[in-house]
Structure 1
Amino acid sequence: MRIPLRDTAAVAAGALAPFATALVLMPLRTSVTHTNLALLLVVVVVAVSAFGNRFAGALAALSAAAWFDFFHTEPYQSFHIRDRADIETAVLLLVVGLIVSQLAVRGRTMRRVAVMDAMHLERLHGTTRLARSGTSSSDDVVRRVREELIEALELRGCRFEYGALIGRPPRLDPDGTVRVDGWIWDLERQGWPDGEIELRAIAHGRYQGRFLLTPEPGSVPPPLEARLVAADLAAQAAAALDDDAVSAGPRS
């Protein structure tokens, strides 16, 4: 599975940004206290953590402590430290950097989750309003669900297929799992399976059709919450189709 570009850039920043900062601060090492220099490096760790992930933040903390030792403690250009106070500062820089990096990543994760939850809720409410408006057909609801699935699952494409089931493509189930030939597929480790993935539209126990999902090649699968929302959206489309079938007869 391909590593996202953002994560790659964050790891690179975690390794290089503290080194570059410690190098730039070298002219100040005799005029600024070591504690203040360490605090400046902590700021770099926070910035990397806010941009990247936990691994990048931890790497930045380790890098900051190492280059603080190398450039700003005697003997210079050595990883040996003579002064006890410098040892304490380096250790505190590492510990504080690790703690702050994890807090920064956690805060960014919580903000992202809150934003995604609000977006998923609006998708469900928007589709429900359309289905209950009385002015939209079931085809309109299906079209809306297709668009929402592309956004929610970050797909390259999505189409809806009426009628009987043909073939046995990988299937996204209502519980958010993906099955391939009857076995649960490990999305986190293996990524999306190859080819189209079906998401069945079923309401009141009656099959109405299926959405065929086409992920972006090499893309990271969405979290479980997004997959559960996708299943709920498919159920709304199925309910709209079922209402039409009850009132106007089965689709030919």
Structure 2
Amino acid sequence: MSFPLRDTAAVAAGALAPFAAALVLMPLRTSVTHTNLALLLVVVIVAVSAFGNRFAGALAALSASAWFDFFHTEPYQSFHIQDRADIETAVLLLVVGLIVSQLAARGRTMKRIAVTDATHLERLHGTTHLARFSTSSDDVVQRVRHELVEVLELRACRFEYGTLIGRLPRLDPDGTVKVAGWIWDLERQGWPEGEIELRAIVHGRYQGRFLLTPEPGSVPPPLEARLVALDLAVQAAAALDDDGVRTGPRS
């Protein structure tokens, strides 16, 4: 299994950044209290957690506690601690570091969710506005096709007018994918091979289908993104339905 470069860098930072910080702070260990030195190491833990993930933050907390013990408690250059107050400081550094790292990672996750939700809302608003005011249903279809590539992280997407042909895997209105009538386990199995159809239906009338081609080996997007994709397809279907009412069915 491969890991994103950012996560790999964060884990490396979690292991090495507290060591480097503890080493840099060595000249201050006789003039600054151990509590203040521990607080400076907490700052490093927060930085690693904000940049990386929960695992990287926890690793930074463990690393900071260990190197605080090694460099800043007597006997120096040893993982043995003689003074009870130093033991308490090292334990508190570990506990506080673990808590702060999880809070920082959670904050980063919530920020990412908020940004993602705002992006989805912008996609839906822009497409809805185009569907309402555009005189060309083809423009709406092309807009939706482009948005589907982005929101589902696809390699390609095309639209097919006309009747249904074949039994392709299908993205259903509840966000699940069905293959031959059975619900496909996206989280465990990833995308099914080949194209996946997303039907453009409005008011019970079928207008066509988007044929989705995922990137090979890519992780399927979360349910929220798949539901946005379904809403986008409805906007295309509505534009095609209105066009059909004005000009007659498209062949």
**TM exceeding 0.5:** yes
Change (3 A) 1:8 1:184: farther
- Structure 1 unpaired stretches of 5+: none
What residue in structure 2 maps to residue 114 of structure 1? 114
Summarize deviations over 1:149-173 as a string: whole Å, max 9, x none.
1222222221112223333333222
Check the 8 A contact 1:2/1:218 in 2, yes or no. no
Q: CA RMSD in A?
A: 1.9
In the alignment, what sits opposite 1:18? 18
Q: How many angstroms does 1:199 deviate by?
A: 1.5
CA distance in 2, matches of 1:20, 1:189: 40
Q: Supply the AA of the counterpart residue of 1:42.
A: V
CA distance in 2, matches of 1:182, 1:76: 67
Relative to the length of structure 1, the TM-score reads 0.90
The number of residue pairs the alignment matches comes to: 251
Distance 1:20 1:192, change over 3 A: farther
Letter in 1 for 2:111: R
> 1:114 & 1:193 partners in 2: Cα distance?
29
Aligned partners of 1:197 and 1:214 also within 8 Å: yes
- Cα distance in 1, alignment partners of residues 68 and 77 from structure 2: 10
Q: Note closer, same or farther for the CA distance 1:142–1:45 as it changes in structure 2 (3 Å cut).
A: same
Equivalent position of 2:37 in the other structure: 37
For the Cα contact (< 8 Å) 1:2–1:219, is it kept in 2? no
Distance 1:203 1:97, change over 3 A: same
**Structure 2 vs 1, CA of residues 100 and 31 (structure 1 numbering), >3 Å: closer, same or farther?**
same
Where do residues 1-252 of structure 1 align in structure 2 (5 Å cutoff)?
A: 2-133=2-133, 135-252=134-251
**Residue 2 of structure 1, CA deviation:** 4.1
* Distance in 2, Cα, partners of 1:68 & 1:195: 54
> What residue identity is the alignment partner of 1:159?
R
- Supply the distance in 1 between the matched residues of 2:90 and 2:208 (Cα, whole angstroms): 62
Pick which of 184-193 and 205-214 moved more.
Answer: 184-193
Q: What CA distance in whole angstroms lies between the structure 1 residues aligned with 2:19 and 2:108?
A: 24
SS in 1 for 2:157: strand
Alpha carbons of structure 1 residues 15 and 197: separation in structure 2 relative to 1, 3 Å:
farther
Which AA in structure 2 matches 1:116?
A: T
**Distance in 2 separating the partners of 1:16 and 1:189:** 34
Percent of residue pairs identical: 88
Equivalent-residue separation in structure 2 for 1:71 and 1:185 (angstroms)? 54
Q: Distance in 1 between matches of 2:168 and 2:78?
A: 59
Seen in structure 2, the aligned counterparts of structure 1 residues 58 and 168 have a Cα distance that, compared at 3 Å, is: farther
Bigger drift between 157-166 and 175-184 goes to 175-184
Deviations 1:163-219 (A, max 9, x none): 233333332222222233333333334433333322221111222221122233333
Counterpart contact for 1:18–1:44, Cα < 8 Å: yes
Query: How far apart are 1:86 and its partner, in Å?
Result: 0.9
Mark the runs of 5 or more structure 2 residues left unpaired by the alignment: none
Question: How many angstroms does 1:48 deviate by?
Answer: 1.1
**Separation in 1 of the partners of 2:198 and 2:130?**
21
Q: Distance in 2 between matches of 1:50 and 1:83?
A: 33
Partner SS state of residue 44, structure 1: helix
The separation in 2 between residues aligned to 1:102 and 1:240, in whole angstroms, is: 46
CA 1:20–1:215 in structure 2 vs 1: closer, same or farther (change >3 Å)? farther
1:47 CA drift (Å): 0.8
Q: How far is the alpha carbon of 1:136 from its aligned partner?
A: 2.7
Pick closer, same or farther for the CA change 1:2–1:74 going to 2, 3 Å: same
* CA drift at 1:27: 3.0
Distance 2:89 2:55 in 1: 23
